[in-house]
Amino acid sequence: MPAVSKGDGMRGLAVFISDIRNCKSKEAEIKRINKELANIRSKFKGDKALDGYSKKKYVCKLLFIFLLGHDIDFGHMEAVNLLSSNRYTEKQIGYLFISVLVNSNSELIRLINNAIKNDLASRNPTFMGLALHCIANVGSREMAEAFAGEIPKILVAGDTMDSVKQSAALCLLRLYRTSPDFVPMGDWTSRVVHLLNDQHLGVVTAATSLITTLAQKNPEEFKTSVSLAVSRLSRIVTSASTDLQDYTYYFVPAPWLSVKLLRLLQCYPPPEDAAVRGRLTECLETILNKAQEPPKSKKVQHSNAKNAVLFEAISLIIHHDSEPNLLVRACNQLGQFLQHRETNLRYLALESMCTLASSEFSHEAVKTHIETVINALKTERDVSVRQRAVDLLYAMCDRSNAQQIVAEMLNYLETADYSIREEIVLKVAILAEKYAVDYTWYVDTILNLIRIAGDYVSEEVWYRVIQIVINRDDVQGYAAKTVFEALQAPACHENLVKVGGYILGEFGNLIAGDPRSSPLIQFNLLHSKFHLCSVPTRALLLSTYIKFVNLFPEIKTTIQDVLRSDSQLKNADVELQQRAVEYLRLSTIASTDILATVLEEMPPFPERESSILAKLKKKKGPGTVTDLEEIKKERNSDVNGGTESTPVNASTVSTPSPSADLLGLGAAPLTSSAPPPSSTGSLLVDVFSDSASVVAPLAPGSEDNFARFVCKNNGVLFENQLLQIGLKSEFRQNLGRMFIFYGNKTSTQFLNFTPTLICSDELQSSLNLQTKPVDPTVDGGAQVQQVVNIECISDFMEAPILNIQFRYGGTFQNISVKLPITLNKFFQPTEMASQDFFQRWKQLSNPQQEMQNIFKAKHPMDTEITKAKIIGFGSALLEEVDPNPANFVGAGIIHTKTTQIGCLLRLEPNLQAQMYRLTLRTSKETVSQRLCELLSEQF
């Protein structure tokens, strides 16, 4: 940029600014400004033509006055005239005035555009830079319409200087963000990608920002950028800090460019080219390795730059979710930050580990840090860090640590900040239900939750505990005894009174045999809380009293006296008064049989959507396409609940709530009034129309994606430039539930969106699938969800096909993928001692019961990854059973509706030969064959 000469100091402007600063009052300042405005106006209107210096000085004064908050209604034309000057400083002031004061509706916009066009065509890099900066600063639709077609040409022209390329890239980025419809995609898109190879790192940095934004909306146009970004990233991370001196920041080479390149790569799935993928893996490993090196400087700028690159690399590793070694290493690196003295690092580490907890391969590594996270929950001063610790405990929870985590969250709840108490309550309630092996523990936990944070226990939570108690006979007596004891406390929260009233009204007879909880004592205990409760709770207690009349005839008179009292019959609240009158009359005139019929025990609640989960999701915000990444945040777990589903024509079912019922306690049983689909070679469960179009062949990569889901339940099943399909599924015994998320990655609506499940006749007889419909219109950038209920009737070999048909921009789209519903999903792990295992192994010695496969290792032979895959496959991993400690053995039971099939497996690795021998023994030949096929593909 040209140097400013001494003559450009504008002494008159300096004097004016000094005068303004020396004003003692607001009135004095206004007086001085008005005097100056009058002087400038007379100069502009005078007969004597002003030279460029004077115009520049007066325009600067007007600009300063405007920035002080005063209106400026003249001088615009003089500023536009400065644009035609050949002096840099005059042109600069003209552009500055226009950027700040001229709006897009100004009559001068055409003159301004002509001046900008002249500067862009001048090929003078300084003038071109000023013009591009002005376009970017104004960024109006008029500017976009006038110059969006011209700027890409400047950007990719071979003779454009580096500084101008930088400005052009950032200017185009600004216009695309404000007016994307005016930025045409064309030949320049393929050429702009090659700017990633430019020798000037400033150009590469600006181009990366532009390409990243463009690729988010047009991924197919810029997919070639992946290999170039990996190549450039590789050169940066492997370079010494002295190699890139101009772009090295506190011994970290080009940290901003590295971060931008890593973000660009997050717009795409893992590279398909093995060489590119290997090079990217090397880059990520190098970044992780550098994080372990001693710092080259003690200054905070060094650690900030180094950690910025590291966290972005970890985000990319999580996004790809395909390299087990990297995922585990990333987890270990984040674990070191959990006790770092820097609060921001601890926050970011907790946040990233929440996402890592979703991966099949890093979940166990995340769990090793549970004590550190619990300690953070107790000792952190910053509430935002404590909230992330709660989120991480929730994400890492599974059957092995559920009781510990729930206990710690309950302990923290007593001192937790008010802003996060309701969210913690919801999470504790979900975890307690999701991982409850012993439902007495679940009841104790929820009652403790109400005791500790009753004001934050929403209706959904106490509704839920009542639903579960009513639906489970084995816990009803314990629940009645526990709430009875809890109600004896001098001060009870009203929510506890509601739960106690409901449960004792239904199951109080189960504890009435104990003299300490006789019918009269139960009634007196509840009635002692009556006057302290709100109207809705009193109404519930009156219903409990009439239930007692049926359960305990011996206290009928006592209850009738209460119902007959003036405080009830003449109550000011009409609801209480009506209940008292009707219940008293019912108890008086109804016979015992009629009373027993009217007041019989509540039937089990129909399975319906978990309102607790719905509430938690509502607190977290509405679903968007980015929620597809949250599929990876929910780890596969063996959940409670799960119901038998009846096949149904999906077109007869109303659209479900967007909240997912992960616990299998959801919508009422579905019935179908439509005839079943005809069997003509396949079962078509057509969600929207009576007849399906021709089914497309399987999408490229479908088989590979299918194989990835054999040992995991959650992730992205399919992705192209238009559509992303994510899965989240859960299985228990012979039942399963799968949530399919369809994400529209474009800004245009999908019309006639029709997902269809296709099963062969043979598969139809072995697998029972029930679907719920999705909206036929999917808005741009939105996500819709479809639920599939699954029942395994008998063992099967094939997998269903998911066919998706829709119209995008008038073009018919037809996509088919294999849905990963495989036989091993119905595994239940079985723990066995060494003696029991080999005794059973010998019993399954018939040739028809054994299937063996010797094969070459396709992936690195890592012990921890192999263990994770066997556990993910569904069987229990039996430690210290095989005489050879290098071998892996597992056991489990395949559950189908018709039978249960015991399965034993043995995997023998040969590290020298890089080979495996896999042996499956089950009581059924086809099961051995299928499980052997599925598991062999994983190693």
Query: How far does CA 391 lie from the centroid of its chain?
Result: 12
CA dist 858 and 872 (Å) reads 18
Closest C-alpha to 556, from 592, 582, 530: 592
For residue 433, give Cα distances in angstroms to 350, 439, 898. Answer: 25, 8, 28
Whether 617 has a binding-site annotation, put simply, is: no
Query: How far does CA 307 lie from the centroid of its chain?
Result: 23
Evaluate whether 631 touches 783 at the Cβ level (below 8 Å). Answer: no
Whether 60 has a binding-site annotation, put simply, is: yes
Closest C-alpha to 559, from 594, 533, 595: 595
Residues in the chain: 939
Q: What is the DSSP letter of 778?
A: B
Residues 6+ apart with CB under 8 A from 311: 348, 352
Tokens 């619990």, located at residue: 374
**Residue 396 belongs to what H/E stretch?**
helix 383-396
Closest C-alpha to 601, from 537, 508, 686: 508
Phi/psi of residue 725, nearest 5 degrees: -115, 120
Q: Which residues pair with 768 in a beta bridge?
A: 791
Tokens 């049926």, located at residue: 550
15, exposed or middle or buried, with CB in 10 Å at 0-12, 13-18, 19+?
exposed
Q: Is 240 left (phi over 0), alpha (psi -120 to 50) or beta?
A: beta
Whether 932 has a binding-site annotation, put simply, is: no
Tokens of 314: 């970890």
CA dist 528 and 506 (Å) reads 19
898, exposed or middle or buried, with CB in 10 Å at 0-12, 13-18, 19+?
exposed
Whether 252 has a binding-site annotation, put simply, is: no
- Biggest alpha carbon–alpha carbon distance for the chain: 114
Tokens of 92: 């600069």
Whether 12 has a binding-site annotation, put simply, is: yes
Tokens of 161: 């200087």
Whether 43 has a binding-site annotation, put simply, is: yes
> By 3-state DSSP, what share of the chain in percent is helix, strand and coil, each rounded to 5?
55, 15, 30
**Position 596: which residue type?**
A
Query: How far does CA 355 lie from the centroid of its chain?
Result: 9
Whether 217 has a binding-site annotation, put simply, is: no
Closest C-alpha to 494, from 531, 524, 468: 531
For the beta carbon of residue 742, count every other beta carbon within 10 angstroms.
24
CA dist 479 and 502 (Å) reads 11
Phi/psi of residue 803, nearest 5 degrees: -110, 130
Residue 290 three-state SS = helix
Q: Which residues pair with 758 in a beta bridge?
A: 684, 801
For the beta carbon of residue 156, count every other beta carbon within 10 angstroms.
18
Closest C-alpha to 262, from 301, 201, 208, 305: 208
Binding residues, as ranges, are 11-12, 43, 53, 57-61
